[in-house]
Amino acid sequence: MTAPAITPDIVAQHQLTPEEYQKIIHILGRAPNLTELGIFSVMWSEHCSYKSSRIHLKKLPTRGKLVVQGPGENAGIIDIGQGYVIAFKIESHNHPSFIEPFQGAATGVGGILRDIFTMGARPIAVLDSLRFGKLDDPATGARNRRILSGVVGGIAHYGNCFGVPTVGGECIFESCYDGNPLVNAFALGVCRKDEVFYAKAAGVGNPVIYVGARTGRDGIHGASMASAEFTEESKQKRPNVQVGDPFMEKLLLEACIEAMHTGAIVGIQDMGAAGLTCSTCEMGSRGGVGIEIELDRVPQRESGMTPYDIMLSESQERMLLVAEKGREEEVYRVFRKWGLEAAEIGVVTGDGKLRVRQHGEIVAEIPNRQLADEAPLYNRPYTRPPQRAEVAGPGPAPLQTQDALPALIASADICSKRWIWQQYDYQVRTNTIAGPGAEAAIVRIKETGASVAISLDGNGRYCYLNPREGAKLAVAECCRNLATSGSVPVAATNNLNFGNPERPEIMAQLVEAIEGIAEACVFFDTPITGGNVSLYNETLGEGIYPTPVLGIVGTLKTAAPVTIPFKHAGRAVMLVGGIGACNDLDFGGTQYAKSILKQLWGQPPALDMDYEKRVHDAIREILAEGLAESAHDLSDGGLAVALAECSFGPAGVGAQLDIDSDLRPEFLAFHEAPSRILISTLNANTKRVDAIAEKHGVVAPVVGVTIEKGIEIRQRSMTLGSWEIAALKHSYETALESHLSQGAANV
């Protein structure tokens, strides 16, 4: 067999630049063969190497007193006390989910779950942040609905079968996600602090063991696909999307955790993006050792696979581990019990090289460290983010508050996502204290008796208007959700979804957003312990809004949480943080501007981080003293939407608000200034709530009273709108299904 010569064309097909190719020649001291070129191309892809973002990611805070493991491992690890830690991370599967929604999303969940249990932690919660194109768009709606159904079905299929509860998330619809849906999956697991495993090879002579599913030709070059823009040809890349087997993953989980307990495992890493290539060279690099493998021993699903195929395959549900020499049988025994294949495919060496043999002959030989850690690093030029034409401000409102609220409640962004989360098993493991639809998800840790709260948030509209401020707002919103659930934020993970970084204005969005996250995460004391960067989210030159998604985790003691709905009539309604400010400029990123005015202009709402934090301290203290019967933060759709959501509880209790404010009526009802939380409390408690608020330097005006039926908002005694709860609630709960079926009827 004669190896094809490496031509500039072949180099280009591997998405390597001529300079990068020269660097490869320099590292090897010779020209690479095709297998080696393939190995370099995946390891140096944007997806694996973060070559465009790494310089800026260094700005993120990664240390903290609870951080056991920061970025650089499969997941970040945080100490939660009593000898236990949690491991968590968020990761994207955007590109595969566009090409094949069901399997793309399913394997996205599979990948993040492996990242968690690779570290020895049993996954106990999954959340998803989703973005799709508009469901009722005449041109793209049908495809968007198909993608939504497929993605939700895929997440459900994988998570439900695996046995991890999908406890929350978010889902937003914008035209910019038409050709680039975003599927960001977050997972969190728990384990004993002294039983954490790392993806590090060690001990020259130790066996390298392959476990799990066999290797096929699926997913070859998935990592590179995720590192390029979509074109018409991308649709031909369907074979690049892997197929998930959640049952296999469940067995792999149980077997890996049991095998770890034997004490015979030195290091372990899952085979995700870039498969066998990534796991071998990264484990070797982290341990400062070499790894030699023989491809003939790799369990294969089909015959005639080349070294190139085997090394680049992204077949799912596979793990690579290094065991202690002489104790292999202990490991094999566990995998046999679970009916899984395990094969010794190689050995740890002392020469720092990744050496790959087939039929005994060397087919690739590359220094691990240079391959894994010396990927090219780009400080790509950046100018300033694209600017939106400054609009003077909204004209007269086309809809009065009375009609605007029902319209917003029924919009796809704001309506209940029950149609989605009802397809997820959100209760398995019987730890879900607050599930989908709650302020933040809360999951009990049976091992310690404590609980963790999790919130995911991102706002592409805000970030498009101002990436730095939009990113800070996402951090603030997550922390506010956690505070409103009674928990203290401790650490964060982020998923940076952006367009093509080779365009200076897109690169500017990325830089600004990272700096915004850094600033806010330092301020709120939530170090970033890991995450993911997804670039090139563009189709035919159309980029997405810059969409950094934050996942922040907090801790709290296990107890029944204070929930969103009003419980009883005759209670005082208070707005912790106050009415907030809004002007023409700040109103342009709101849901009202989007759904009612069909515009986007100006700036995101102004955030005062210091005030925000004091609001968090105040609400936590109010909740801890048992003063609030209900609590809900103001977010998309502002005060009116929050009020409606508080009125959709089983008690059917609504409220009548009368607000003393000079704001324009639509601003008052729908502006989205942060740092505001709506609570209901016994009249006798308002003084105490006030005192707590004052102590923290925030206002908490009484804005109304809960009532037996109906919702009403007044401004200085003048009614802006009054609504019957049942009709609003029905529309809130069924709107997403209507968007899906009405759209379908139009086809």
The distance of closest approach from Cβ of residue 621 to another protein in the complex, given in angstroms and rounded to an integer, is: 23
Q: Which one of 156-164, 371-379, 617-625, 739-747 is the stretch in contact with another protein (CB under 8 A)?
A: 156-164
Nearer of residues 432 and 459 to another protein, judged by Cβ: 432
The distance of closest approach from Cβ of residue 161 to another protein in the complex, given in angstroms and rounded to an integer, is: 4
User: Exposure of 44 by Cβ count < 10 A (0-12 exposed, 13-18 middle, 19+ buried)?
Assistant: buried
Q: Which one of 128-136, 235-243, 398-406, 554-562 is the stretch in contact with another protein (CB under 8 A)?
A: 554-562
Would you report the helix, strand and coil content of the chain in percent, each value rounded to 5?
40, 25, 35
Nearer of residues 229 and 245 to another protein, judged by Cβ: 245
Nearer of residues 294 and 425 to another protein, judged by Cβ: 425
CA 247, 252, 255, 257: dihedral to nearest 10 degrees?
A: -120
The distance of closest approach from Cβ of residue 305 to another protein in the complex, given in angstroms and rounded to an integer, is: 25
Alpha carbon distances (Å) from 189 to 87, 121, 362: 5, 5, 39
Alpha carbon distances (Å) from 253 to 113, 269, 330, 340: 9, 12, 17, 11
Do the beta carbons of residue 639 and residue 604 sit within 8 Å?
no
Nearer of residues 415 and 596 to another protein, judged by Cβ: 415
User: Exposure of 662 by Cβ count < 10 A (0-12 exposed, 13-18 middle, 19+ buried)?
Assistant: exposed
Nearer of residues 163 and 203 to another protein, judged by Cβ: 163
The distance of closest approach from Cβ of residue 470 to another protein in the complex, given in angstroms and rounded to an integer, is: 33
Nearer of residues 163 and 352 to another protein, judged by Cβ: 163
What's the CA gap between 557 and 552, in Å, rounded?
A: 17
Question: Residue 616 catalytic?
Answer: no
What's the CA gap between 646 and 667, in Å, rounded?
A: 20
Nearer of residues 148 and 397 to another protein, judged by Cβ: 148
Residue with tokens 């300033």: 384
Site string for another protein, 558-577 (x = CB under 8 A): xxx-----------------
- Selected catalytic residue, list 14, 26, 56, 93: 93
Nearer of residues 256 and 266 to another protein, judged by Cβ: 256
What's the CA gap between 493 and 517, in Å, rounded?
A: 10
Q: Taking CB under 8 A as the rule, does residue 339 contact another protein?
A: yes
Q: Which one of 45-53, 98-106, 160-168, 498-506 is the stretch in contact with another protein (CB under 8 A)?
A: 160-168
Determine the Cα angle at 146 with ends 141 and 151, to 5°: 125
Q: Taking CB under 8 A as the rule, does residue 154 contact another protein?
A: no
Q: Taking CB under 8 A as the rule, does residue 650 contact another protein?
A: no
Helix pair angle (275-287, 34-43), 10° resolution: 70
Q: Taking CB under 8 A as the rule, does residue 271 contact another protein?
A: no
Closest CA relative to residue 456, chosen from 433, 470, 477: 477
DSSP code per residue over 367-379: EHHHHHH------
Site string for another protein, 107-146 (x = CB under 8 A): ----------------------------------------
What is the residue type of 475?
Answer: V
Side-chain-facing half-sphere of 480: CA atoms under 13 Å: 29
The distance of closest approach from Cβ of residue 156 to another protein in the complex, given in angstroms and rounded to an integer, is: 5
Residue 311 DSSP label: H
Do the beta carbons of residue 87 and residue 188 sit within 8 Å?
yes
Question: Residue 47 catalytic?
Answer: yes
Strand partners, 551: 456, 493
Nearer of residues 253 and 596 to another protein, judged by Cβ: 253
SS3 467: helix
What's the CA gap between 92 and 109, in Å, rounded?
A: 9
Query: What b/e readout covers 7-27, taking b as 16+ CB neighbours within 10 angstroms?
Result: eeebbeebbbeeebbebbeeb
What's the CA gap between 518 and 24, in Å, rounded?
A: 33
3-state secondary structure 651-688: CCCEEEEEECCCCCHHHHHHCCCCCCEEEEECHHHHHH
Nearer of residues 142 and 161 to another protein, judged by Cβ: 161
Nearer of residues 336 and 695 to another protein, judged by Cβ: 336
The distance of closest approach from Cβ of residue 339 to another protein in the complex, given in angstroms and rounded to an integer, is: 6
The distance of closest approach from Cβ of residue 630 to another protein in the complex, given in angstroms and rounded to an integer, is: 17
- Selected catalytic residue, list 14, 47, 56, 632: 47
What's the CA gap between 517 and 90, in Å, rounded?
A: 15
The distance of closest approach from Cβ of residue 422 to another protein in the complex, given in angstroms and rounded to an integer, is: 6
Residue 71 DSSP label: B
Q: Which one of 157-165, 322-330, 388-396, 674-682 is the stretch in contact with another protein (CB under 8 A)?
A: 157-165
In the range 346-405, which residues lie near another protein by CB under 8 A? none
Neighbouring CB atoms inside 10 A of 430's CB total 8
The distance of closest approach from Cβ of residue 258 to another protein in the complex, given in angstroms and rounded to an integer, is: 12
Alpha carbon distances (Å) from 513 to 56, 450, 455, 504: 10, 33, 19, 14
Pairing of the two strands 441-444 and 432-434: antiparallel
Enumerate residues 6+ apart whose C-beta is below 8 A from 375: 43, 44, 48, 49, 51
Site string for another protein, 417-446 (x = CB under 8 A): ----xxxxxxxxxx-xx----------x-x
How many chain residues touch another protein (CB under 8 A)? 30
The distance of closest approach from Cβ of residue 248 to another protein in the complex, given in angstroms and rounded to an integer, is: 8
Q: Is the dihedral of CA 128, 134, 136, 137 positive or negative?
A: negative
Nearer of residues 425 and 457 to another protein, judged by Cβ: 425
Site string for another protein, 444-473 (x = CB under 8 A): x-x---------------------------
What's the CA gap between 135 and 566, in Å, rounded?
A: 32
The distance of closest approach from Cβ of residue 726 to another protein in the complex, given in angstroms and rounded to an integer, is: 17
The counts of H helices and E strands in the chain are 25, 28
In the range 196-255, which residues lie near another protein by CB under 8 A? 245-248, 250-251
Site string for another protein, 48-87 (x = CB under 8 A): ----------------------------------------
Q: Taking CB under 8 A as the rule, does residue 163 contact another protein?
A: yes
Nearer of residues 434 and 669 to another protein, judged by Cβ: 434
The distance of closest approach from Cβ of residue 246 to another protein in the complex, given in angstroms and rounded to an integer, is: 8
Residue with tokens 């003084």: 687
The distance of closest approach from Cβ of residue 429 to another protein in the complex, given in angstroms and rounded to an integer, is: 6
Q: Which residues bind another protein (CB under 8 A)?
A: 156, 160-163, 245-248, 250-251, 338-339, 421-430, 432-433, 444, 446, 558-560
**Which residues carry out catalysis?**
47, 93
